[in-house]
Amino acid sequence: MHVLAGLFLVFLYEIGAAVILPTPAELPLVTYKWLPVGWMTLFAVVGKVVGSYLVFFLGDRMKNTERFHRLVARYDVLHAVMKWSERFVRRYGVFAVFLLLCIPGFPDTISLYLFALIGQRPVLFSLAAGAATAVRFGLVILGVWSIGQVAQ
């Protein structure tokens, strides 16, 4: 029963990491060493997909507000970031989300919100974020295994 509770915590953490926590997605690999890695990865991926969809839902609602448009118009830096992000997403699309979110140790909350403000396919973007989480977990597991092999 404690394994299921731990996996549920991983699921909740990934939702939180997508929506508000500026922490890396692979943090549960370090903190929950007693959980099966395969199940932890599965629960993390599902949590990231759910969290990313929530972010895209919130971003879609936020980008249509008058307050958001005033904020972007007021600050040149914010306007430049939004313009660059829009060009980046329009050019590379879902592949850009996937590649950016595959970087281990990189907090993906800000990236998800930027893509949410620009993207128009939340389900596809959320699935890309989930797939990137699986890749990140795999890279971290491979890195830890490699370090363990070198240390022996």
The distance between the two most distant Cα atoms of the chain, rounded to a whole number of Å, is 60
Among 69, 63, 70, 121, smallest CA distance to 97 is for 121
pLDDT at residue 66 is higher than 70: yes
Domain-wise residue ranges, the chain: 2-151
Q: CB–CB of 7/40 below 8 Å?
A: yes
Q: Is the pLDDT assigned to residue 146 strictly greater than 70?
A: no
pLDDT in tens, 2-30: 888 888 988 999 999 888 888 888 888 77
Q: Which tens digit of pLDDT belongs to each residue from 26-37?
A: 888 777 777 888
- Look at the block and give the residue holding tokens 């989300």: 97
Question: Kindly report the CA angle at 143 between 139 and 144, in degrees rounded to 5?
Answer: 120
The pLDDT, as a whole number, for residue 145 is 66
**Residue 53 above 70 pLDDT?**
yes
pLDDT at 147: 66
